[in-house]
Amino acid sequence: MGINLDVPDISARPVQRCSTKIKAEKANLFYGTFQALRDITLDIPSCAITAIIGPSGCGKSSLLRIFNRMNDLIPGARVEGNVELDGIPIYDAKIDVADLRKRVGMVFQKPNPFPMSVFENVAYGPRRHGIKNRGQLEEIVEKSLRHAALWEEVKDKLGQSALALSGGQQQRLCIARVLAVEPEVILMDEPCSALDPVATLKIEDLMRDLSQDYTIIIVTHNMQQAARVSDMTAFIMMEPDRAGVLVEYGPTAQIFTNPKDKRTEDYITGRFG
């Protein structure tokens, strides 16, 4: 079944066959007695952008936070089942959570630069991890800002407050801040929802560039964005008890042009959600 959606020709962009970076097997998330996610099972490839789509409140952001244990910060939250990074269970009691979050960085919905200079925003993570040498920090800051496609715009403003940057620049600065600690996975929770169309396209272009070196998982409500930037798409929806379940997961081209589940077709064509 073909779906008439105004998106680029994603069928011409094959998914690279790569090793699994993150694996979830029957992962369940609870907030106290409320079950937010039920039996989530999926393999996220290491050299691809994976989009998570679904109606508001279905647990997309909660799933994203499972991958770096950010839900641990919520009182009463617990995860059952298995979640692995490179084959290592990340909910094992022996896991160093600080190291996990260094390897699995996160970019939030609204840009959240620290109230300090552009330079110090990017240098913050490396400093926390023990790097004190000024020359080394300068190299890291420049490299990170270049990778975030921001260097040319801020190279003469490194000492100025990051809060003076535009919204799109602030979001790319937050991406540079994540890159500065050399992660392997970048989680993005609706990173463009607060940005204008021009800034959104810059972030999307940046995601495609970064996906050559990083595993990226993005939550988005924008179907066109999911189709434009992602290689794999996971569709989540709520069951009657409000627990989020994985309805369908596969190559983005297949999900958007020939979904296997009628609920997926209904959602991406706007029939519900």
The domains of the chain, with CATH numbers, are 18-268 (3.40.50.300)
Q: How far, rounded to the nearest angstrom, does the alpha carbon of residue 211 sit from its chain's CA centroid?
A: 11
In whole angstroms, what is the distance from residue 265 CA to residue 26 CA?
24
In whole angstroms, what is the distance from residue 195 CA to residue 180 CA?
23
- For the chain, the 3-state helix, strand and coil shares in percent, each to the nearest 5, are 35, 25, 35
Contact 54, 270 (CB under 8 A): no
Q: Looking at residue 4, what is its pLDDT?
A: 47
CB atoms within 10 A of CB 17: 8
Give pTM, 2 decimals: 0.90
In whole angstroms, what is the distance from residue 259 CA to residue 75 CA?
37
Which helix (H) or strand (E) is 106 found in, with range? strand 104-107
Q: In this model, does residue 17 exceed pLDDT 60? A: no
In whole angstroms, what is the distance from residue 142 CA to residue 138 CA?
6
Nearest to residue 268, comparing CAs of 40, 41, 55, 48?
Answer: 55
Nearest to residue 49, comparing CAs of 208, 234, 247, 213?
Answer: 208
Q: In this model, does residue 27 exceed pLDDT 80? A: yes
Nearest to residue 27, comparing CAs of 100, 77, 73, 74?
Answer: 77
Q: Stretch 147-166: mean pLDDT, rounded?
A: 97
Which helix (H) or strand (E) is 175 found in, with range? helix 167-179
Q: Looking at residue 8, what is its pLDDT?
A: 42
Coil, strand, or helix at residue 220? coil
Q: Residue 147's pLDDT band (boundaries 50, 70, 90)?
A: very high
In whole angstroms, what is the distance from residue 149 CA to residue 131 CA?
23
